[in-house]
Amino acid sequence: MVIREALINGKDGCCNSDGDRQTTQERRERISAAVKYAWEAYRRDALGYDEFRPLSHSGTNMTQQGIGYFVADVLDTLWLAGLQKEYAEARRFLVDHVTYNQTGSVSLFETTIRVLGGLLSAFHLSGESDTQLLHLVDELGTRLAYSFETDSGIPPETASLQHQKHVYAYQSSTAEISTLQLEFRYLAKLTGKRRYRKYVDKIMDVVLKAPKWDGLVPIYFNAVTRRFTGDTIRLGSRGDSYYEYLLKQWLQTSQTEPRFREEYDTAMEGVKKYLAAVSPNQNLTFIGELLSPNNANPEFSPKMDHLVCFLSGNLALGATQGRSLAEMSPLELSASNREDLVLARELAETCVRMYFDTASGLAPEIAYFRWTNPATGVEKPFDINTQLVKPNGDILVHASDRHNLLRPETVESLFILWCITGEAKWRDYGWQIFEAFEQWARLPDGHGYSNLLDVTVVPPQHADKMETFFVSETLKYLYLLFSDSSTVPLSCYVFNTEAHPLPHFAWNK
């Protein structure tokens, strides 16, 4: 019914009055100012360092020289937020001071999604004419690609920046080996170097042949046996972006590689069958975890990482391929796509409640939900005095999970849902979340923003870290949430898992 109403109303995300437009512009400018505030703190206290510690006014590196980790990751956010002066100084630092011809090892996954992805996106958004940026990204791609030279083609989790005679991989994170493809495939398209595509396509060849559990997979992959391994199936850490990139690989190459969409659809049916559940009091739809899936009676756990909140936007994106409902006929949506849109909306509401039900208005890193086993009618026990966030609520937070890293997944989904449905409430939710970040995570005197240790108390204590993804993802998605949907149209771009927009393209025959 809700989907049908959105189609009938013809909402496309545009503001309906001069007052709406003024409010939207003011909010967008506030978010742009937040990007600038975060960048200026980093530039003053830690420019050139890979990570930023705002309380100690310092930075740390991942290699002896650093790899431009922070700067590359935030570069396209500076561009999109209209901060041309800041973009120019960030770009100048990268091309003048960063080289990947150095010793040291880095995370293959994190460096690919943040640095390679950030450089690729900035190169595209700035006009695809910046040869110095392209040279830098090609140099990095060459060195990261050494890690693909294993017997199976499955890379280890750590990449050496110098060529090794023998690269060996045993067990790797499922998400980490299957979340390299958008970046290397686009690099292959830009440079004409087919080996980049060959490497990451080989990974998918191996992964897609491995046995699965109705499309669902455990969170580790054994490169020797070429099978998934581990006792947990989840869409949180180490599992999330495997499912995300199945859909986005299909979208990236203009829907010309159906095997990725088919595998994605199978997996989403598995999610709806085994992992989706509803809490008893607040009727919150959540995505749990499956423990010991190879046992005769696998156990369901009502645990959901904040990371899982990406799924809401991904489901909506898959349902319409990024098109707004206003431009579609109801007949264009299959029954399965309608189900996915309903689940997307319900899950987004749950993710928002993870924010609004805490004292600070910000979400914990992990939540558990009150849940009644449908087979026995017995509710899973919990400690009402130490875990329940809201009286008579359904969200439970363990003491060790109450921190907030200023993550993007919820606002990512709000942005996608706003683009697709045009409903103002997604913007309203996003603004409330932004204001909570401003109230509790913003440091005084120009020192940027900081992670929080416990969102269930006010004021929450700060941690000495400002993650690169707060600027590259969280603030970017918030900025785009209050921008025209044509700024980065979802029907023409895929966002990598670090929020770097990459254009759709077709392979040359």
- Is 89 among the residues known to form the active site? no
pLDDT at 15: 40
Pairing state between β 493-495 and 501-503: antiparallel
**192 and 202 Cβ atoms separated by less than 8 Å:** no
Q: Between the CA of residue 312 and those of 222, 375, 381, 410, 492, what are the distances in Å?
A: 29, 27, 28, 8, 20
- Quote the pLDDT of residue 20: 83
pLDDT of residue 5: 37
Give 231-258 as a DSSP string. SEE-SSTTTHHHHHHHHHHHHHTTT--H
Measured distance CA(226)–CA(170) in Å, rounded: 10
Q: What is the pLDDT of residue 168?
A: 86
Q: Please write the tens of the pLDDT for every residue from 377-428.
A: 999 999 998 999 999 999 999 999 999 999 999 999 999 999 999 999 999 9
Cα separation, 403 vs 405, in Å, equals 7
**Is 451 in contact with 404 (CB distance < 8 Å)?**
yes
Q: ∠ CA 420-8-250 to the nearest 5 degrees? A: 30
Record the tokens describing residue 71, joined without a space. Answer: 């700067």
- pLDDT for position 16: 47
Burial classification of residue 217, based on how many CB atoms lie within 10 Å of its CB (0-12 exposed, 13-18 middle, 19 or more buried):
buried
Catalytic residue among 263, 365, 394, 412: 365
pLDDT of residue 294: 86
pLDDT digits (tens, 9 = 90+) for 340-362: 999 999 999 999 999 999 999 99
pLDDT at 164: 79
Closest CA to 115 of 501, 411, 500: 500
Q: Please tell me which residue in 265, 340, 409, 454 is annotated as part of the active site.
A: 409
**At 382, which helix (H) or strand (E)?**
none
**Pick the catalytic residue: 45, 76, 110, 412?**
110
pLDDT at position 17: 54
Give, as one character, the DSSP assignment of residue 298. P
- Residue ranges, the chain, pLDDT below 50: 1-16
Instruction: Return the sign of the alpha-carbon dihedral for residues 265, 271, 272, 273.
Output: positive
183 a catalytic residue: no
**What pLDDT does 18 receive?**
62
Contact 338, 323 (CB under 8 A): no
Distance between CA atoms of residues 443 and 38, nearest Å: 10
Respond yes or no: is residue 110 known to be catalytic: yes
Q: What's the N-to-C CA distance of the chain in angstroms? A: 44
Give the integer Cα–Cα distance in Å for 433 and 413.
13
Based on the residue annotation, tell me whether 464 is a catalytic residue of this protein: no
